[in-house]
Structure 1
Amino acid sequence: MNDIRRGTLSEETFFDTVGGEPTFRRLVHLFYQGVAEDELLRPMYPEGDLGPAEERLALFLMQYWGGPRTYSEERGHPRLRMRHVPFRVDRAAHDAWLKHMRTAVDGLDLPAEAEQQLWDYLTYAAASMINTAG
């Protein structure tokens, strides 16, 4: 959707299209509900409470999709691969991560095109985090 704001052409972002912050917070909350019970993934989150990890992922995804830049303001450049180096991310971790993310995406009830766009990014991101053979 295009409109004129303050004399400039503005385009609605994916963030806006899918419902903004509430949608991304729901996605990430649903995802971490699965992670909390996952024997493979849970140990990758050393904090006793998954809340800080949930907040970081929500802020990152909101920024990535055109929302507030809070993630970069608080944490700097995302540097996703570097931030994941301390963790063993193999094909099994990749698959487990995507399993929980698939459940979370399905819980959003997005329009098909938006769901596919989000899922394409998530599968790409998960594959790019693999840092261990196996």
Structure 2
Amino acid sequence: MKKSRKDTQIEAVKAILAGELLLEEAMEKYDVRDKRTILNWMKSISPLIQNKTEPVPDVHEYVIKENSLLRRVIGLQDQLRELEEKNAQILAQRNVLMDKVTRLELKLQVQDNYETTSDV
């Protein structure tokens, strides 16, 4: 049986308030194109689904909290990108040094072979 629009809205708001879904995830899951639609659902439905003893979370506070989490994730992604770039540079430098060491070892082998054959 297909859910009614109101049931879908209630389910979405409950999932968001419970922390099961972020706004963007709820938008994707419930095929909502505009963030304001979900915010309006939260404003209208959250007071109805909250117990009287529990304080009703302010939608604005929720959005601020979610945005701060998203900013933190973006910051961590930026740090990860920087570390990956540094790692690539270090690997490139390591490869150059390994190449130099290999060439020097070859030169030493050639020189040792030359000295060994010239001593005979």
Global fold match (TM > 0.5): no
More helix by percentage: 2
More strand by percentage: 1
Q: What TM-score, normalized to structure 2?
A: 0.29
Q: Whose relative contact order is higher, 1 or 2, with alpha carbons under 8 Å and at least 6 apart? A: 1
